[in-house]
Amino acid sequence: MNAIAAGNDIDEPLDVAQRMIKEKGRMLSIVYSGGDDLFIIGHWLDVAETAIDIHNYFKKYTGNPFMTISGGIAINHEKYPVYQYARDSEEGEKRAKTNKDAITLFGTRDFKWDGVGKIVERVSLFCRFLKFDGSSLVIDEDKLSKTFFYRLLALSRRFTEDGVLILPKAAYLISRVKLKGNPEDNMKLKEVVMNSNRTEWRITEASVLWTLMLIRKGGE
């Protein structure tokens, strides 16, 4: 468990933002690990990536598709009391367990693990429209504006929460963008936006939120 959490002592740790986890490791601590319970606290991205790595290694270790793992991730500011993090993440875990073999991200959104895999793929796609400023990911105005991501987030929430028909607005949004990325990435982005599947829009909502959190300012 320590090796998986550290990230720099396992094969191919998840590294969505290309932070060189294999060399630098992760910023987190295992508060408790015993029986079938685990409580980790640390940087939100490190915790999220570690949760996915734990799930992947759990599948490899057990080799049994009927043995599952569920969890919850709570995100708040750095002065938020640890006991409240424990309470909030436990609530997320309970939500995930009702779905079985799932994880709750960002407080209230629970996803099956295959859906989490799609979120990671989508975040990776969005990241290819960003750029590095030397130490972190930032908006690349030559490819996509921050406004695009906020509008895509708003559209996804309108569809997932209210069931509002958004394809005309989605078409307008993508038509206003002059995509300058890789042609294959451009096509994948259009497929993400021009979609009428509710599950896919839930994945897009989580993916955009994840991406916007990646480019937030605020130091370590």
Q: What are 149-174's pLDDT values in tens digits? A: 999 999 998 887 776 678 888 898 88
Over residues 88-129, the pLDDT tens digits come to 999 999 999 998 899 999 777 899 999 999 999 999 999 999
Identify the CATH class of 2-107. alpha beta
pLDDT above 60 for 220:
no
Domain regions of the chain by residue span: 2-107, 120-214
Q: Is 130 helix (H, G, I), strand (E, B) or coil?
A: strand
Indicate the pTM of the whole model. Answer: 0.90
119 vs 65, more confident = 119
How far is residue 84 from each of residues 48, 75, 94, 96, 197, measured CA to CA in Å?
Answer: 18, 11, 15, 18, 35
Buried b (16+ CB within 10 A) or exposed e, 13-30: bbbbbebebeeebbebeb
The amino acid occupying position 25 is G
